[in-house]
Chains A and B, each alone.
Chain A
């Protein structure tokens, strides 16, 4: 079955891992059965945002059959500067989405720059994937608050509430038609709950891998297969929904 991983990172130095050549990561992802990986910076979430966007864009050049590059921006730089960087990433760097990590980047969803950034991302056809599940800055309902104000932007909860905030994540996705859930992190029990209550057409596969953790993909696939018996739903989770999400984002941009 085709496999799209909507949550992967370019290894950096932030978590003690070592940078690796993109060719190695590409080979490893292929060997693990991935057909496409949404690819985010790691180091850029804590320093040198612009430079790390350049590094990621450069890394995936020639490998866009596998990697879907996402940029990041710093809300603390202010809405104007952040949006300027977002536009540069969408245009000059051909990046296709935005990754935000309120916990590591130390901003509240109610920071005045956040909603304008999200709104502009939608106009540019870029979905926005958030780290979520970690109080105090990354709870699903905080993110849903921003999603409600930016209905033209597709918002992904990159961990579907992790485990403690599964219920929040489900409620966010049921209430907000532009909120999607990546099943990256929740336990089997939480996945059971999500599959039964959340909109199935907005569930995504993800691992948080980046080529530095061998075997993560197969473990996550096994976990989801242990929780989801419907082959049809697995098709949706493993690739169809992700493909449709990118298409909806593109259509949203064209309509503006």
Chain B
């Protein structure tokens, strides 16, 4: 258990060390900078901003993690959430429903679009053996290099009111997610002007809980993880690996569809040309850092949000805030190195335990004849 905490801590320590070296080389005082980041990042409006940033990262991380559990690398969350965002916003503006239902419908559309787009990669892999890394990269590019722009051109808002902003029609108020400021005020916090805690936080938490229940507690999740660990053995236990590839991609894409929804249903209220990108790639890093576990991914997403929020303070100090990106990259790399080291320590420990259990047995060949055929 102690080892479980050791790896991420070690990784963050390495990342801080590397960033400090970079800062010192470029003539800055790391301690001054870190304390300024901490001071700024722990103010209430910074914490709200951190959570708002973490919400899409978290959902994105979960989407990627579903793939990882099935031994699939869905690098296409990027395209899936972007496409889902556009189409959900279009449908949302067009629908006219009572409030909770309206929001639910928009989310369902987003999930369906994400699932369908990811499903293409799933079907191609299951039926034609196309590597999902390549197909999802291509699907990303199809959205990013034209399909997105084409859809925006088709569905762009008719009454621009003189604005040059390219955007879809506004979603009516019944289709928007209320913020959670009133909850914060209820517990006695004084929310600063202009800060809004996104209501989509609740959806993110729900997705995390459902993710955990499905993967760890249901038969379907067991089948999915079994197939990811060993497709042959899973097939012998009655799990069709091809069907599971498609199902896992659909699930992953469905979750991916929700990634951008905190923007569409929150501050933006529609899909705009400056919709945030790269959330899908961030999700990969967050999923890796969080070890595909819903709590771990949550912590990783919050860390990412914190780093990005507190980096804004750096501009005032005349330090490039890109130091944070270097930190993030170093964290990802060092966390896997740290996990690898911990894994080896644990394997050695286990080996000792097992042989203590069985030292009365004859020394046996390491591989065992079962592995030879």
Q: Are A and B associated in one complex?
A: no
Tell me the A residues contacting B by CB distance below 8 Å.
Answer: none
Tell me the B residues contacting A by CB distance below 8 Å.
Answer: none
